[in-house]
Amino acid sequence: MKQPYSPLQSWLLSGMLIILVLCSAAPAPAQVPNIEGTYQLGSRKLPDGTVQSPPTIMGALTYTKTHRNFNVIWKDAQGKFFSYSLVSTYKLTPTEYSETLLFSILNDQISAKEIVYNLSRPTQSVPVKVDGKRIQFKLPFDPPSVVFEGDKMTATAEGQFVDVWEKVQ
């Protein structure tokens, strides 16, 4: 014949059940958004409706756990090039995207400007909006606002372009 639970055992069992119920009812902590991967520029839509694609415009973007590496290049109708490259560190939370620019290089033959090297290492933060698997924020150092959704990233610079990037890795 089994021994009945003692009052102490009953109290401990009840306490453990209450803790389990409270833990399961507590809201889950916000999940850290993830944008890691390598993206390739698929197309750019200009304000006049023109759509450009490789080889007229090309770009690669990689987000690791801590770094962003961005490169884009295009050629105008006269054969002059524009290229922009940057490397930065970043941190992404459910509410904020913070980035520290390590360096950037801007080569604008189209406007006949000198090459600009930026080694100043500024840091900026911007708010993030997360809706399910959709992650949205404005890039701190560049005009576009970006939306990551599935295997696609869309960069929109109002009045300038809408770029569609496809995750390749």
**pTM, two decimal places:** 0.79
What per-residue confidence (pLDDT) applies to 31?
74
**Domain positions in the chain:** 37-167
pLDDT in tens, the chain (169 residues): 555 555 555 554 455 545 544 445 545 556 778 999 999 999 999 999 999 999 999 999 999 999 999 999 999 889 999 999 999 999 999 999 999 999 999 999 999 889 999 999 999 999 999 999 999 999 999 899 999 999 999 999 999 999 999 999 8
What per-residue confidence (pLDDT) applies to 27?
52
37-167 CATH fold: Lipocalin (2.40.128)
Q: By the 8 A CB rule, do 165 and 41 touch?
A: yes
What per-residue confidence (pLDDT) applies to 150?
93
Handedness of CA 124, 94, 41, 65 (dihedral sign): positive
Q: By the 8 A CB rule, do 101 and 122 touch?
A: yes
